[in-house]
Structure 1
Amino acid sequence: MKKQLICALAVSFALCVSSCKKEEVTIKVDPNGKVISGTGLPLPPGSRPDREIPKDGKYPKITFERLEHDFGTINQGDVVSTTFKFTNSGEADLVIQEAHGSCGCTVPEFPKEPIHPGASAEIKVSFNSAGKHGKQSKTVTLSTNTKSGQDVVTITSNVEEKK
Structure 2
Amino acid sequence: MRVRISLLVVTLVGLGVGQFSCDNRRQAETSKAEVSEKMPRLTFAEKGIYDFGTLTEGDTVEHSFAFTNTGEFPLIINNITASCGCTTPEWPREPVAPGAKSAIRVRFNSRGKMGQQNKTITVFANTDPSMTDLQFKALVNPKADSTRKS
Query: How many correspondences in the alignment?
Result: 109
- C-alpha distance in 2 between matches for 1:94 and 1:60: 5
Could you tell me which of 26, 45, 51 is aligned with 1:65? Answer: 45
Could you tell me which of 82, 103, 116 is aligned with 2:84? Answer: 103
Q: How do residues 15-30 of structure 1 correspond to structure 2 at under 5 angstroms?
A: none
Deviation at 1:66, TM superposition (A): 1.6
- Alpha-carbon RMSD across the aligned residues, in angstroms, is 1.3
| Structure 1 runs (4+) greater than 6 angstroms displaced | none
| TM-score normalised to structure 1 length | 0.65
Q: How do residues 87-126 of structure 1 correspond to structure 2 at under 5 angstroms?
A: 87-126=68-107
C-alpha deviations, 1:113-150, integer Å up to 9, x for none?
00011000001000010110000000110000001001
1:155 is aligned to 136
Structure 2 segments unaligned to the other structure (5+ residues): 1-31, 145-150
C-alpha deviations, 1:36-89, integer Å up to 9, x for none?
xxxxxxxxxxxxxxxxxx9x7231011001242101000001111000000000
Greater share of helix residues, 1 or 2?
2
* Structure ranking higher on relative contact order (CA contacts 8 Å, 6+ apart): 2
- C-alpha distance in 2 between matches for 1:124 and 1:105: 14
- C-alpha distance in 2 between matches for 1:75 and 1:146: 37
